[in-house]
Amino acid sequence: MVLLFFLFAFYFSSAQILKRQIPDKLVVLTFDDAPVSQYSIVAPLLKKYGFKATFFVCEFPPNFRDNSKYMNWTQIKKLDKMGFEIGNHTQSHKHVNKLSKENFIQQLQYIENKCDSLKIKKPLSFAYPGYDYSLNAIATLQQQGYILARAGGSRSYNPLEDHPFLIPSWAINATNKDQIIAALQEAKNRKIVVLTIHGVPDIEHPWVNTPPDLFKEFLNYLSKNNYKVIAIKDLNKYIDFPKAAKTIAIDTSKKYKN
């Protein structure tokens, strides 16, 4: 009888959080920091394969205005016009666990105002710079109208267990091809694989560099193996994020940093 009660509670909770069945081989592509290669190399390749993605943008100091390293806002607007999601990564890549609430809101609103001035939809998705989060930051994001936030952790996302403001992801770099291919096998049984990618290549931050040929390999693998590749906002088709935020407890014992 007790077992039946817990099974009923589990399935009722699942029905409340999940809007529809999550298909196997569901992958989310996210790109951080706005290096110019995301515009010149990444976006054309994604369009070629028909893949969606989210670009979490910031004005990375100190060289944001160097257009040989970072996208300008005209290019970010073009990504939006191409159908990609623009997410918020703070104004200047600030680690939110070190910010006051007031400063965090200022960092968020700078990107929001830039988007508004260019008629880009207000970001509802956020990515933690350096994967650092805090409970206060999560509360602030909710108060500011965000529906989800991506962290790290090198594990798959279970929408029935992971809080929507702590969505885990794997980070791609030049040396972990085998790890990422293995990770992609976890996209089944309601689990979703979220990938974090920086520059392709990343000139200023070589430790998160993804060589273009390796990136093409990943895209070809996803295409040949019939993965469904979406932006992080598209998870809203499958998951009731407000319900999940109320239902799922924040588990700080889990790993959220790569």
Domain annotation covers residue 4: no
The amino acid at 138: I
Q: CA–CA separation, 141 vs 242, rounded Å?
A: 12
Domain of residue 239: give its range: 23-247
**Would you state the pLDDT for residue 3?**
43
**Would you state the pLDDT for residue 252?**
86
Q: CA–CA separation, 215 vs 217, rounded Å?
A: 5
Domain annotation covers residue 90: yes
Residue 2's pLDDT band (boundaries 50, 70, 90)? Answer: very low
Domain annotation covers residue 123: yes
Residue 184's pLDDT band (boundaries 50, 70, 90)? Answer: very high
Question: What's the rounded mean pLDDT across residues 213-224?
Answer: 98
**Would you state the pLDDT for residue 15?**
60
Number of H helices, E strands in the chain: 9, 8
Domain annotation covers residue 181: yes
The CA–CA distances, whole Å, from 62 to 58, 69, 75, 181 equal 12, 11, 19, 34
Selection from 67, 198, 229, 73 nearest residue 129 by Cα: 198
Do the Cβ atoms of 21 and 237 come closer than 8 Å? Answer: no
Domain annotation covers residue 9: no
Domain annotation covers residue 132: yes
Do the Cβ atoms of 123 and 86 come closer than 8 Å? Answer: yes
- Compute φ and ψ for 84, nearest 5 degrees: -90, 155
Total count of domains within the chain: 1
Say which CATH number the domain at 51 has.
3.20.20.370
Domain annotation covers residue 10: no
Residue 163's pLDDT band (boundaries 50, 70, 90)? Answer: very high
Mean pLDDT of the chain: 94
Residue 11's pLDDT band (boundaries 50, 70, 90)? Answer: very low
* 143: pLDDT strictly greater than 80: yes
* 54: pLDDT strictly greater than 60: yes
Report how far apart the first and last C-alpha atoms of the chain are (Å, whole number): 42
Residue 250's pLDDT band (boundaries 50, 70, 90)? Answer: very high
Do the Cβ atoms of 199 and 210 come closer than 8 Å? Answer: yes
Question: What's the rounded mean pLDDT across residues 72-80?
Answer: 98
Residue 124's pLDDT band (boundaries 50, 70, 90)? Answer: very high
* 5: pLDDT strictly greater than 80: no
Non-local (6+) Cβ contacts of 25 within 8 A are: 187, 188, 225, 226, 227, 228
Domain annotation covers residue 103: yes
Q: Which residues pair with 194 in a beta bridge?
A: 28
Question: What's the rounded mean pLDDT across residues 22-28?
Answer: 98
Q: CA–CA separation, 61 vs 8, rounded Å?
A: 51
The amino acid at 32: D
Residue 147's pLDDT band (boundaries 50, 70, 90)? Answer: very high
The CA–CA distances, whole Å, from 207 to 5, 95, 178, 204, 245 equal 49, 18, 17, 9, 33
